[in-house]
Amino acid sequence: MKMSYHEAMRQAMREALMADPRVFLMGEDVGKYGGTYAVSKGFIEEFGPERIRDTPLSELGFVGAGIGAALGGMRPIVEIMTINFSLLALDQIVNTAATLRHMSGGQFNVPIVIRMATGAGRQVAAQHSHSLEGWYAHIPGIKVLAPATVADAYGMLAPALADPDPVILFEHAQLYNMEADIDPQACDIRSAAVRRQGADVTLITYGGSLPKTLQAAEQLAAQGIDAEVVDLRVLRPLDTQTLLASVRKTHRAVVVDEGWKTGSLSAEIMASIMEQAFYDLDAPLARVCSAEVPIPYARHMEEAALPQARTIAAAAKQLMGKA
């Protein structure tokens, strides 16, 4: 079945709402407007305002309300327009949702799914172009997912709703129009996925950088370099075993992360590889991250600030001694 990333997410939510009366959607403009990216278009007519709830412009307030609903036995899907707005709800996410199971000695669970658009590349300037997934991946008590394919956009929601703990779904805004033929079914939300087999170098990435990384792998193949591409998919907890297995096969690795380099998720991945597979490496690790600047508005400057297929390929070629 061919569908877009946007439609896959929409279909997954619709099926969840139909299957379980405890599931409801809440957020800014999710009802009459149909969601910022039209993912919930038509839902309010189908399910009514009790289950498709437009909220005030207060992320701190409506994320807190979602946590309360989850504690009360509901299965809320809370939509935050873009990742930068989630900063207004950090107290609820980090100090409440992530900690209640631990602080209650296991008496309470918070089965909430928080969806948000992330990433740059759309000319929406610095305030709406963040890639802060690494911040959330730092926090114990939550599961962090980054669907990078149409199949994962569909398949991650059902297991996320079934998880007894908070789950954050990061949907890269540049992926919404991507299309693919898929067999709609629930997927694994514990493991990374090898998207391309290779023998010479491992390219590790997630989210909106996956298509660029696969393009880089094709560019490298044309130059005789066989790159393996690993899609993290799950940013917390990291599936280090899949990463290590790939690195032990190729003996080289490039980490591609749209986040900034300083204090980034890429640094954690590189540290894990160095700690557990140092003697398997034939070259130093490398990474391709966004430039350490607020993301520019001008298209040519924005493109220059972000990882691109050509810069990913160049980093891999340098590791292979073919730069």
Tell whether the torsion through CA atoms of 150, 153, 156 and 158 is positive or negative: negative
Q: Which residues contact 313 (CB under 8 A, 6 or more apart)?
A: 216, 219, 220
In angstroms, the Cα distances linking 98 to 108, 164, 212 are: 11, 11, 32
Dihedral angle over CA of 45, 47, 49, 55, nearest 10? -100
Strand 227-231 relative to strand 201-205: parallel, antiparallel, unpaired?
parallel
Answer yes or no: are the C-beta atoms of 13 and 77 closer than 8 Å: yes
Q: Which residue has the tokens 């189908």?
A: 46
Q: How far apart are the C-alpha atoms of 3 and 84, rounded to whole Å?
A: 28
Task: Tell me if residue 28 is catalytic.
Answer: no
Angle of helix 210-221 relative to helix 309-319, nearest 10 degrees, comes to: 50
Task: Tell me if residue 59 is catalytic.
Answer: yes
Among the options 28, 59, 79, 171, which is catalytic? 59
Closest C-alpha to 214, from 198, 234, 235, 199: 198
Compute the residue count for the chain: 323
- H-helix segments, the chain: 5-19, 43-47, 59-71, 90, 100-103, 133-137, 150-155, 157-162, 210-221, 240-250, 265-277, 299-305, 309-319
Among the options 6, 28, 79, 128, which is catalytic? 128
Count other C-beta atoms under 10 Å from residue 298's C-beta.
11
Count other C-beta atoms under 10 Å from residue 276's C-beta.
15
Tell whether the torsion through CA atoms of 213, 128, 138 and 16 is positive or negative: negative
- H-helix segments, 99-156: 100-103, 133-137, 150-155
Q: Among all residues, which ones are annotated catalytic?
A: 59, 128
